Structure 1
Amino acid sequence: MNRTEPVTLTNMCMIKNKDKILVLNRNDPVWPGITFPGGHVEAHESFHDSVVREIKEETGLTIKNPRLVGVKQFYDNNQHRYLVFFYIATEYTGKLQASSEGELTWLTKEELLYSPLAYNFDHDLPVYFDKNISEHLLDGERDELF
């Protein structure tokens, strides 16, 4: 039995400033809408370093002490596992600056919940807001939180 498989590793980070949350309005035609900034983990890069780098690239901010709060997993169109590591950061430095990924906006949690979210992103949000949930699994008909 083979215990290895192709995997895509990514991250996403909710950056909080008091009662505001930084969101990215993605202009990607494959997955448009409101989400949190993040991106891919590069070869030989730690998960921590990847989220710090991606946030810097997409927002201009340097986050400090990002906290891993959960993970999402699903299978892509090639049937390869896709993992998204979810982080929260409350400490950062730098000047907010949008990238080619899309516009950045600070929203309250309530405003976020009523925004035009990226497909299925509403199913990810409980991992960020409920300390009893740490995993979002999408697999065929399964769409479960653990």
Structure 2
Amino acid sequence: MSRTEPVTLTNMCMIKNKDKILVLNRNDPVWPGLTFPGGHVEPHESFNDSVVREVLEETGLKIVHPKLVGIKQFYDHNKQRYLVLFYTAKQFSGNLRESKEGSLTWMTKEELKRHQLAYNFDHDLPVFFDSKISEHILDGKRDELF
């Protein structure tokens, strides 16, 4: 029995600046709405390097010491596992600039919750905000936080 399977590896990072959070309003027609910057892990790329690269590409900010705070897993339309590594970052440099991914806005947590979020992103937020929660499992049978 094989213990390997195809997996898509991605990341997402909540960047904090005092009481504000950097939010991306995605242009993607498949998954539009507010979320945090992030993207795919490239082959042979470390998870840390991938989140630093993705944030830089999407925001112009170079984050330092991103902290892994949790994961999300689900199965995509091809029934293959999809993992999202959730990070937070408080230290960064550079000048904020938007990319083709969408517009960027600094918001408080309360402001974020009052806007149109990307599909199911509201279920991801507890992983970022509650240190007792580290995993979001989403599949056809359940949507649970652990």
Q: TM-score range by the shorter chain?
A: over 0.9
AA in 2 matched with 1:92: F
RMSD after superposition: 0.4
1:125 corresponds to = 125
Kindly report which structure 2 residues correspond to 1:6-45, keeping only aligned pairs within 5 A, or say none.
Answer: 6-45=6-45
In structure 1, C-alpha distance between the alignment counterparts of 2:96 and 2:16, rounded to whole Å: 13
In structure 2, C-alpha distance between the alignment counterparts of 1:139 and 1:39, rounded to whole Å: 20
CA deviation profile, 1:1-54 (whole Å, cap 9, x unmatched): 111111000000000000000000001000000000000000000000000000
1:144 corresponds to = 144
Q: Which stretches in structure 1 are left out of the alignment for 5+ residues? A: none
Q: What percentage of aligned pairs have identical amino acids?
A: 76
Kindly report which structure 2 residues correspond to 1:1-146, keeping only aligned pairs within 5 A, or say none.
Answer: 1-146=1-146
Tell me, what secondary structure is at the counterpart of 1:11?
strand
AA in 2 matched with 1:120: N
Q: Which stretches in structure 2 are left out of the alignment for 5+ residues? A: none
Equivalenced residues, count: 146
Q: Post-superposition shift, 1:140? A: 1.2
Structure 1 runs of 4+ aligned residues shifted over 2 Å read none
Q: Post-superposition shift, 1:57? A: 0.1
Question: TM-score, length-normalised on structure 1?
Answer: 0.99
